Amino acid sequence: MREILRILDETYPDAKCALDHQSPWELLVATILSAQCTDKRVNMVTPGLFRKYPTVKDFAAVSQEELAEDIRSTGFFNNKAKSVTGAAKTILKEFHGKVPRTMEELLRVPGAARKTANVVLGTAYGVASGVVVDTHVQRIAQRLGLTKNTDPKKIEQDLMKALPKEKWIPFPHQIILHGRSLCVARKPKCAECPLDAICNAKDKTKH
């Protein structure tokens, strides 16, 4: 693990959240929209969205149907619109319009399961409450032998045990960059990978 972290720090020293945002609320919305959608697409949609609805109150007031049209290009737009308007109403009613800073409270917000809560807490507040497990983290943690599990919650538990706590926030950002550039789902670029020597994945590509 120490060697993996050393290589990741060397290779991706400036890794950070790929979702553009100006506040914890904007990050929460962007993270909800990013489900089953690329961060690039979300970053194309959110500037106009936050101009149209600058505050949590604006999102709470808009109809689900109208918001769904605004976010149509991110896919699953009806469910996402329901989550975002529900999140806005809950945050106004229960948390005085501020995105909460604890895992327990965030999990009460519609659309904020553990992955989303971890993104918001880690990136917006610097709170290491867990490890973000997206598809890249899931795939690469398995390839590097850091987990044998397939369930994201169990993978997160394995990573929390394996990683020093100060790495809980940066590690997923580094892994996500690695997953986009080299350790891709099909035909990973093992010949170019700095982790190649310590990786025993079954689907490694021949040099």
Distances from the Cα of 105 to the Cαs of 53, 93, 157, 199, in angstroms? 24, 13, 20, 38
Active site residue 115: yes
Q: How far are the Cα atoms of 78, 100, 166, 174 from residue 122, in angstroms, in the given order?
A: 27, 12, 11, 14
Task: Write down the catalytic residue from 115, 154, 165, 206.
Answer: 115
Residue 206 DSSP label: P
3 state DSSP class of 11: helix
Set 39, 80, 134, 167: catalytic member: 134
Is 93 catalytic? The answer is no
Report the greatest alpha carbon distance in the chain.
57
Q: Which residue has the tokens 């529900």?
A: 86
User: What positions carry a catalytic annotation?
Assistant: 115, 134
